[in-house]
Structure 1
Amino acid sequence: MNIMKKFLYFIILPILILFILYFYLPLKINPLKNGSIVLKPAPVTTYSNVQTKLAGPHDFPIYRNISKYGGINAFTSTKDFRNGLLQSLKSAQTKQGRFYQLTVNGRQIGWVNEKFFLRSKLLAAKHVSLTRNPYYSFPVRDAISYIADKHGTLIDPKKVSASQNFFNSTTPGKFTIKLKYHHLKTTINVHVRPNLNEGITVANRTAIVGPSLVKTFSGSSKSSSPNWNPENNYQPETEINRYYDNKHNFMITQFYQPRFHSLTPQPTPLNQIGVIPQGISLKQNQLTVSYFSEPNVEWGHLVTYNLNHLSDPLKSQNLLTMKWREFKNTSRNIAVSPYMKLGHGQSIGMTKKYIYVLASSNKEANPDKSEEIFQISRKNYQINHLWTIKVWNRSSYYPRYFHNACFINSHLMYATFHNASKGLYEYWKLSRNGNTWMPTEIGATQSDFVKNNSPLQSFTSSHSKFYLAFNDNLFIITHPGKLIQHYQFHTLRETEGIAVENNRPYIELARRPELLQIKNQQNKKN
């Protein structure tokens, strides 16, 4: 009997103690409630390839751990992270459904129900309007915004089946293209505009004599920011940069962009943000950057940073190490697009509702092909409208294929064309009326600006002035083509974007992606 009592004592007492501890210990030190100990763990599946997701319309709790019954210890929600880079390498099936171990902007957060993600969606542009051009066929998958499978994992648009891969833009009319991925289906409504002469005009502006050619480096960057190298393991920068010219003007760092940490050693372009910037737009302190995973590709991502809240030029680099509260605030002000067609990514602009992209190809010299213009929602990065344009000087024998352009509003775009055979730059205005973009040459400068045949890297317009950015050089030109000002900085880093905000020029540099403001004798105190 005594043996039985002792046996019951040693069995019941620990159970009673565990029962009391479970219900009365505070959450922080309660290992069963806070997820430190899981009595009935759920089986976890680990993926060899990263799963990239998009947020759905509703917010869900994020848990520290999971069991076979569901999430354990909800400590935050998805509301601060829904616009960021959402990825996962692990999932688990529970009685409450499938959960994914969520990583946001490269940092592991916790477990979330897959109902948080957009699932079983194939979305494409609502409207596609093509200019008539017998020398161009539209790649129909360019109109895809994203594909998410039944678990919310984004799928490469190349895997989508189409009723036809390319749509010839010779015959006017309205047509329907069918897209399919497994059980997901959608259609694209294509309108080929009827006017065959649309975009055919005359380039007859008299060029204004421009500056003598200046030195610049050709090819890719010859230098980098101090820590962007193997010796320093590409660690975040700890100091801002200042670059001076010989007239006491200088560029100063405004914002180092974070390097998005990859979850796998060899991520696919769909899952990798950057690290190559190609273009920027800046509106009301909202910075949008086009990023590509490697040179000379035409699909990438757009990332928007709210610099009204990300005001420190250094902190946003430290996504993996910053304090939790700071990470939540930073993630709240970073928005990442799906993987989408951007062309070379140099020609982008923003309005209140939309991001506009002229998706030209840097692999083309001056073809008679059409060029794509994307109207992308700033709210969710979905392609709302897609147009094509062509600009020919009298005929297709003298095309004007634009590698650099900027958008002023939803109905106005400026572009520049390097007429290398005549040693001049032409400036063009394209005005949209309905679905038609009508070109007019408004100016020209008789100069190649730089030596070494170095290409124009970025272009924008503000207050009736054009800004032409080459590597280490910025020229400010009147719309008719007269030189106003020239800056030359010796950074030896590629210029990857130009923007003007409040009459102040901003330059994006490569190696590390970095936004700098140019300050001259008039505005250096501001």
Structure 2
Amino acid sequence: MKKLSKLFLTSAVILGIGSIGLAKTSQLTQAQSLVTKQPGTKNYGIYSKINAKGVSHKVASTSQFKVGHYQSNTSKKTRSGRYWYVYVDGHTVGWVNEKFFVRNKISVAKSVSLVKNEYGKFDTIDAINYVTDSHGTVINPTKVHTSARVISSAKAGNTQVNYTYGKAHASVNVVVRNDREEGISSANIVPKAGPKAISIKSGHRSNFNIATKATKLNNNGTKLSTLFFEPSTLSLRGSWLTQVGPIPEGLTVSNGWSTVSMLADSSDQRGHLVAYKNNEMSKFNTQKLTSLSLGSFKKLAANIKVSPYIRLGHAQSLGSTANYIYVIANDNKQSNSENSEEILQIRKSDMQIEKIWSFKIWNGSASGKRYIHNAVMVNDHTMYALFHNGGYHRYEYWKVTRVGDTWTPVEVGATQSDFVNGSPVQGFTYDANKKRFYIAYNDHIFKVKEDGEYLGKSSFNTNREIEGISVSGSKLYVQMAQRSEILSGSIK
């Protein structure tokens, strides 16, 4: 996706928050800049009225927004404790006791396992889910003190990394695996003949207006229609740390949930994952989330989860299973590199990182490096990865299998084609039922057998970009950008 200007980004987010106002203040109220608050797990009431004695007129409970994105810019100290006026997923809600928030806490991944690679390095900040101060306010992770900021993966070993911020502390073990040959394979498959590369026009139409008409696409055996339009953003306008969206970068669907990655800017490496329970979303009202009545908002928001502000890389390579979401957190600014890449395992329950692995794919040695920009996890042990070998004008398909913490790559197919001239892949997924890959560029979807045999393409004149594709069961799902929308349907 092309980078939005900061001026346009600001306008887009204003459109997203609609008519939300700020909390009324009094001489007892402490106003401050907008911050993110980390929700806890206990249930607290949310109230619309407050005075020096306390709160009254309950309007909601925190249990209705268990994994929501909480923001505030106002707090008030009363006889019954300090309360914060909160906005959840960008919608005004009310006052909640500060005890609800997670305070003086650093949450990190439970473990980190790195492939042995003399060129690889791990930034220990990548393991942080969130950091909070004594009021439950989320702190920029770069402000945390670490006992080791960067760990080389050149030598096998175990390093305990300690994190501290004020009274908060945490630690994680970072293990460098001891097999130097791990990740080294052979790209020796003779590629199947592919199509002549086509030139396509830019598919970037900046449109954050409210949609009132469903999308229907039908071309060459692919039929797609609107599942639901998404909110442009799930936050009030703020810093990159507090803002969710408005740029979608990836999609994965499993067990009835769609999970999308959202960045504040297309050049970011950190952002949020947002999960929607598909059959609870309204085709058109979900996009109006921030301006709905509180009653309607609560019904939808109860089925939306927002992760903390975590490192996602380019965030376009996702996968999901019954219990986890997987992110291959690559850096799309690297055309090809000897560096290792990270796989994040994220719990669906609370949208936080459980484990991090790194992996590499080399053809024989580092000189045959395969830095992966597009991949998809299809179960908890298997990933398919796509590599564009531009020098030889072909695409390679790799199956990477995990046993324990070891990731072993095997080339399974190749296609002699660039498919598209000069345009990056916007989406990549695997259809286990048909044993084929789908590769998306702007509004084109190419179909390829697992061994690389070209099957055809579907093209749509939408003047929009596909930002992610996923297969769940017999259905194909597509994430479209501006306005953000998830389509579902079938493909022959």
TM-score normalised over the length of structure 1: 0.86
Any conservation in 2 of the 1:42–1:66 contact (CA below 8 Å)? Answer: no
CA apart distance, 1:437: 0.3
Report SS of the residue matched to 1:421.
helix
The structure-2 alpha-carbon separation of the partners of 1:380 and 1:249, relative to structure 1 and needing over 3 Å to count, comes to closer
Q: Indicate which of 221, 229, 253 corresponds to 1:256.
A: 229
- The residue that corresponds to 1:488 in the other structure is 459
CA apart distance, 1:262: 4.7
The structure-2 alpha-carbon separation of the partners of 1:321 and 1:439, relative to structure 1 and needing over 3 Å to count, comes to same
Where does 1:236-315 land on structure 2 (aligned, <5 Å)? 236-245=210-219, 247=220, 250-260=223-233, 262-264=235-237, 267-310=238-281, 312-315=282-285
- 1:216 corresponds to 2:187: no
Q: Distance in 2 between matches of 1:131 and 1:500?
A: 29
Q: Distance in 2 between matches of 1:122 and 1:282?
A: 29
The structure-2 alpha-carbon separation of the partners of 1:519 and 1:101, relative to structure 1 and needing over 3 Å to count, comes to same
- 1:47 corresponds to 2:50: no
- 1:143 corresponds to 2:136: no
- 1:515 corresponds to 2:489: no
Q: Distance in 2 between matches of 1:261 and 1:428?
A: 36
Report SS of the residue matched to 1:326.
helix
Any conservation in 2 of the 1:205–1:443 contact (CA below 8 Å)? Answer: yes
Q: Report the identity percentage.
A: 39
Report SS of the residue matched to 1:397.
helix
Q: Indicate which of 497, 506, 511 corresponds to 2:477.
A: 506
C-alpha deviations, 1:258-302, integer Å up to 9, x for none? 1226534xx211111111111000113200000100112110000
Q: Distance in 2 between matches of 1:92 and 1:510?
A: 40
Q: Which runs of 5+ in 2 are unaligned?
A: 1-23
The structure-2 alpha-carbon separation of the partners of 1:62 and 1:271, relative to structure 1 and needing over 3 Å to count, comes to same
Q: Distance in 2 between matches of 1:371 and 1:60?
A: 40
- The residue that corresponds to 1:367 in the other structure is 337
Q: Indicate which of 462, 486, 492 corresponds to 2:431.
A: 462
CA apart distance, 1:223: 2.3
Any conservation in 1 of the 2:89–2:235 contact (CA below 8 Å)? Answer: no
C-alpha deviations, 1:107-148, integer Å up to 9, x for none? 111111011111111011111111111112111100111111
Q: Distance in 1 between matches of 2:349 and 2:106?
A: 18
- 1:112 corresponds to 2:86: no
CA apart distance, 1:62: 1.2
CA apart distance, 1:63: 1.2
Q: Distance in 2 between matches of 1:370 and 1:502?
A: 31
Which structure has the greater CA radius of gyration? 1
What is the letter of the counterpart of residue 278 of structure 1? E
Report SS of the residue matched to 2:471.
strand
RMSD: 1.8
C-alpha deviations, 1:1-30, integer Å up to 9, x for none? xxxxxxxxxxxxxxxxxxxxxxxxxxxxxx
What is the letter of the counterpart of residue 148 of structure 1? T
C-alpha deviations, 1:17-65, integer Å up to 9, x for none? xxxxxxxxxxxxxxxxxxxxx9x977001112x1211221211111111
Q: Indicate which of 461, 475, 496 corresponds to 2:446.
A: 475
Q: Distance in 2 between matches of 1:73 and 1:502?
A: 45
Q: Distance in 1 between matches of 2:129 and 2:289?
A: 27
- The residue that corresponds to 2:55 in the other structure is 71
Any conservation in 2 of the 1:217–1:454 contact (CA below 8 Å)? Answer: no
Any conservation in 2 of the 1:106–1:263 contact (CA below 8 Å)? Answer: yes
CA apart distance, 1:178: 1.5
CA apart distance, 1:244: 4.5
Q: Distance in 1 between matches of 2:97 and 2:231?
A: 27
Any conservation in 2 of the 1:42–1:67 contact (CA below 8 Å)? Answer: no
The structure-2 alpha-carbon separation of the partners of 1:336 and 1:502, relative to structure 1 and needing over 3 Å to count, comes to same
Any conservation in 2 of the 1:179–1:185 contact (CA below 8 Å)? Answer: yes
Q: Distance in 2 between matches of 1:374 and 1:75?
A: 37
Any conservation in 2 of the 1:216–1:472 contact (CA below 8 Å)? Answer: no
- The residue that corresponds to 1:385 in the other structure is 355
Q: Distance in 1 between matches of 2:268 and 2:98?
A: 32
Any conservation in 2 of the 1:41–1:67 contact (CA below 8 Å)? Answer: no
Q: Distance in 2 between matches of 1:249 and 1:481?
A: 20
The structure-2 alpha-carbon separation of the partners of 1:305 and 1:261, relative to structure 1 and needing over 3 Å to count, comes to closer
Q: Distance in 1 between matches of 2:115 and 2:221?
A: 48
- 1:338 corresponds to 2:308: yes
C-alpha deviations, 1:405-459, integer Å up to 9, x for none? 00011100000100011110000000001000000000001111112x1111110
Q: Give the aligned length.
A: 467
Q: Distance in 2 between matches of 1:171 and 1:349?
A: 30
CA apart distance, 1:210: 1.0
CA apart distance, 1:481: 0.7
- 1:414 corresponds to 2:396: no
Q: Distance in 1 between matches of 2:189 and 2:146?
A: 44
- The residue that corresponds to 1:7 in the other structure is none
Any conservation in 1 of the 2:69–2:235 contact (CA below 8 Å)? Answer: no
- The residue that corresponds to 1:8 in the other structure is none
What is the letter of the counterpart of residue 352 of structure 1? A
Where does 1:38-187 land on structure 2 (aligned, <5 Å)? 43-48=28-33, 50-187=34-171
TM-score normalised over the length of structure 2: 0.92
Q: Indicate which of 337, 355, 360 corresponds to 2:325.
A: 355
Q: Distance in 2 between matches of 1:75 and 1:505?
A: 39
What is the letter of the counterpart of residue 81 of structure 1? F
Any conservation in 2 of the 1:416–1:428 contact (CA below 8 Å)? Answer: yes
Q: Distance in 2 between matches of 1:471 and 1:41?
A: 51
Q: Distance in 1 between matches of 2:139 and 2:48?
A: 28
C-alpha deviations, 1:146-176, integer Å up to 9, x for none? 1111111111111111112211111111111
